[in-house]
Amino acid sequence: MLIEHSSQQLMAIHFESPFQQLLQQQRPLLKSLNKAKKWQLWLSDRPMLKRSWINTAGLDKQKVVHLSNLKNENLISTIEKALRSKTCSYIVACINDLNEQNKQRLQQAVLSSNTCLLLVHDEQCGQLIQ
């Protein structure tokens, strides 16, 4: 995260990735979910999660799993499988194209899982389901 000072009233924050922004913005939620004795799954199409960010957020790095290089077409089914396994306290997925059919699939899987699913758009606008 880079912080630029343009004036005393204006401060611009530039995040290195959508995952870093999510860790910063959702820190209280993630820390509360961190207390569960379950995995914390992060999914993306490229490496985007740094251990230093996990440490800064106060998460247990022993429970954080980051699967990267997932193709978008495999991402929905991977999320569904992880939700159905009920072994994660939360799942964060970086996803760009979510059509209505896939959104319905994920909503059904979330309802049956008791797992929090955070979907992050790669242009740094986040979406929370459940």
Write b or e for each residue in 110-125: b if 16 or more Cβ atoms lie within 10 A of its Cβ, otherwise e: beebebbbbbbeeeee
- Summarised one tens digit per residue, pLDDT across range 80-91 is 999 999 999 999
Question: What integer pLDDT is reported at residue 123 of this predicted model?
Answer: 59
Task: Return the CATH number of the domain spanning residue range 17-129.
Answer: 3.40.50.300
Query: Where exactly are the structural domains of the chain?
Result: 17-129
pTM: 0.81
Cα separation, 98 vs 30, in Å, equals 23
